[in-house]
Amino acid sequence: MTALPITSFYAAFFGLLLFALSVLVIRARVTCRVSIGLGEDIRMLRASRAQGNFVEYAPMILILLGLLELAGTGPFLLHALGGLALAGRVAHAMGISREPENLKLRQLGMALTFTVLGLAPLLLLLRIAFA
């Protein structure tokens, strides 16, 4: 059994999402015939930014979840934060990677992600302050 079962659960799903986004980048590279860089095709840019945006946010979210779990945060709150973050990252990826983009999905994804990025550090600071 892992020491961080809830964080590990979300890390597994985040890993699968990164895998899927990476496959989409490779597919776009083949379709757009771009081996390095982004070329001129918006589909290449969208696939690359969907993957890039994911890797910009996912590590910090997982670090915060892991620290909260180590600090003894209850499973309900951890799953709420992890579920919001995962839903946010999926929604954002679906919104930004389409041409034309689905702005509502993209905005929803960022709103969910920012909710977690705003709440998780505050909760961690509270756990530290009142430990």
The reported pLDDT for the residue numbered 32 is: 84
The reported pLDDT for the residue numbered 76 is: 98
The reported pLDDT for the residue numbered 12 is: 98
The reported pLDDT for the residue numbered 34 is: 86
Tokens for 2, please give them. 């892992």
Question: Which residue numbers in the chain have pLDDT < 70?
Answer: none
The reported pLDDT for the residue numbered 16 is: 98
Q: CB-based burial of residue 3 (10 Å sphere; 0-12 exposed, 13-18 middle, 19+ buried)?
A: exposed
CA distances (Å), 91 to each of 2, 17, 68, 94, 112, in order? 29, 11, 24, 5, 9
Rounded to 5°, angle at Cα 1 from 64 and 112: 30
CA distances (Å), 88 to each of 3, 91, 108, in order? 25, 5, 7
The residue type of 55 is V
Closest CA to 26 of 43, 4, 9: 43
The reported pLDDT for the residue numbered 2 is: 77
The reported pLDDT for the residue numbered 41 is: 87
In whole angstroms, how large is the CA radius of gyration of the chain?
Answer: 17
Q: Which domains does the chain have, with CATH numbers?
A: 5-129 (1.20.120.550)
The reported pLDDT for the residue numbered 87 is: 98
